[in-house]
Structures are given as C-alpha cells and as structure tokens.
Structure 1
Amino acid sequence: MKKFNITVNGASYEVEVEEIKDGSVASAPKAPTAAPVAKPAAPKAAAKTEAKSGPVAGATKVESPMPGNIWKIQVKEGQEVKNGQVLIILEAMKMENEIVAPCDGTVAAIHVSEGASVNGGDALVSLK
C-alpha cells in the first residue's frame, strides 16, 4: 500500500493505493508509517461575472447549468421571449450550449456579458 495526499477543490485527502501487477498484489502490505498531511491549499478566488444589474424581484432566474464562457447573448433587456427561445450560447468543454427561456416573458435583466466566465448555478438572465 502506498499513501498519497490528494487535494481536490482546496480540500486535502489522504488515500491509500494498492499496486496490482498481473492481477495479483505486487507486495504484501507494510506496517503503516506516519506521513505528513499537506495543508489545504488556499481556495482560489472564483472568477466573477460582470453583473450589469442585481436580482430582479419576482422574476424567473435563468441559471448556468455548468461552468463555461458566455459566447453570445441572443437577447436584449426589455425583449419579449417565448418558452424555448435561445437566450444565451454558453461555450463549455469546446461545445456551444444553448441556454433557452424556461417560460414566456420579458427579459428583465441580463446578468453577464459576452466573454465572461460563469460557474454552474450563476444567474445569467432574469425573465418577468
């Protein structure tokens, strides 16, 4: 068994890995030895999107389903939209993903700008 410290999203984990060769264990497990535990890395500051306006009371918030970059904004504030109409094109994992209106309404606010990085769950557009 080998012990490793792995850091995922700023949290440090100690794991044990058993090496297998030709379908059998390569060596018998040795007595555990104390290994220094790495200090958790300081969390990186999340990339902030450029909010053009704050939350709109009573509006339907359209959120990013995944992290990515805003490639194209297809609507303007005040524009009427229909259920299923493309609002924003989000580039994620080298694919263009269409973010569509979940209902009929009017664009109350656009919370991002083209080229901005977003995380999953970030507000993109508010519809009234």
Structure 2
Amino acid sequence: MDGARLDLVLDNRTDEVARLLAAFEAFAAGHGLPHKVTMQVMLALEELAVNIVRHAFPEGGRHRIEIGLELGADHLVCDLRDDGLAFDPFAQAPPPDLTGSTAERRVGGLGVHLVRRMMDEVAYRRDGGINHTRAVKRW
C-alpha cells in the first residue's frame, strides 16, 4: 500500500469532479483505506476541486487541474495544482457563519471549513504562476 499513487488531469468543468471522485473511490477500495477516511477525503477533494473550477478561472477558457494522490503507510497526501487566479483558501476565505439556524445562513462558505475539519493538514502556496493546494489525511 505504501507509495501507491493516483494521478489525474481534469478539465476545469464541474462534471470532471465526478470523475475524480469515482477514481479516488476505486483507488481507496483497491488499497483498503478505511471507509471513514475515504468519505472524509472524498468530501475534501470535492470541495477543493469544485472551488477551483468555479472560482479560479473567471476569464473562462480551458484549463487543466492536476491531481496527485500518494498513499503512505498511515496517511494520504492530496496535491491539487492549477494555473488559475492566486488564492489561498486557507488564509483568504472568510470564516463561515455558524450562528443561527441552517435555514437562516447564506448558501456557501462552509467548504474550506469542512476541508480543515476533515483533513489533518492543509497548505497552499503559489509557485511560478501555479496554485499548489495540499491536504493530508492520517489514520
């Protein structure tokens, strides 16, 4: 199991996120990842990938999102790379409004919060015009 990799290249379309999730689910099952870990990572991957697709490319056009998943003995590293607008979701996204009932809250704003809660480490850096988002899950 240690050292297994899954590498994908997605187009910046929301339908590509389903392909990512299906590929990860098969990868996780094939390597015996615990069910809870699989579900938490799927949620994090979905949130991160959807945010890239929806917000990183306001000018439109076709762009690539590179996904690299690397399995260690007791952890999974998820790397997402894109050439969209520079944006650190972990430093720049506004904190979610967790007050009031669910019906009273505005839609959105919980994705980055959920990623932070589901994953054990999160990081962002911009290098050479490329956004690098990393999330690590341990078990």
TM-score by length of 2: 0.24
* Structure showing the higher strand proportion among its residues: 1
Structure with max Cα Rg = 1
TM-score by length of 1: 0.26
